Amino acid sequence: MTTTPSAPSSGEDRRRAISRVAGLVLVALGVLAVGAAVVDLVGGFDRTVAVVPVEGLPDRVAVDNGPGLLWLAFLGIPMVLVGGAGLLYGYLGPPPTTPLEPGTCRACGRHNGPEATFCDSCGSRLVAA
């Protein structure tokens, strides 16, 4: 097996990286969806206003059956919320509910002695227990 020195924390790093990308994509798609719904809604009003009664035809025959993309807003808003949560997780780091053993390196995961001040493997300063 060949593992890089940073292997112990790479799982968390990968989850956070995925969370950042997925969060960004979800927020972007959600904003686009809400934007499309708003544009369609506004455009729908415009079309409704623009109806010109034509003699011999019922008033509403011409144009509109209302905004057809409003459902996108109901899709897009949760996407923005979920994506935002993903971005927060990706950028703010792990929740502070993962206590490390004394002497464990946060940077590379190496277990040093409980009295160690710096990591034997990567040289990072260790958090005091």
Residue numbers of the site for Zn ion (CB under 5 A)? Answer: 105, 107-108, 110, 119, 121-122, 124
Kindly state the helix (H) or strand (E) to which residue 30 belongs, with its residue range.
helix 7-49
Between residues 13 and 46, which has the closer beta carbon with respect to Zn ion?
13
Q: Considering the complex, what minimum distance in angstroms separates the CB of residue 97 from Zn ion? A: 21
Q: Considering the complex, what minimum distance in angstroms separates the CB of residue 18 from Zn ion? A: 23
Between residues 85 and 107, which has the closer beta carbon with respect to Zn ion?
107
Provide the 3-class DSSP secondary structure of residue 118. strand
Which one, of 84, 119, 79, lies nearest residue 103 by Cα?
Answer: 119
- Specify the DSSP class assigned to residue 63: S
Q: Considering the complex, what minimum distance in angstroms separates the CB of residue 7 from Zn ion? A: 12
Q: Considering the complex, what minimum distance in angstroms separates the CB of residue 104 from Zn ion? A: 9
Provide the 3-class DSSP secondary structure of residue 104. strand
CA distance linking residue 88 with residue 78, whole number of Å: 15
Between residues 76 and 103, which has the closer beta carbon with respect to Zn ion?
103
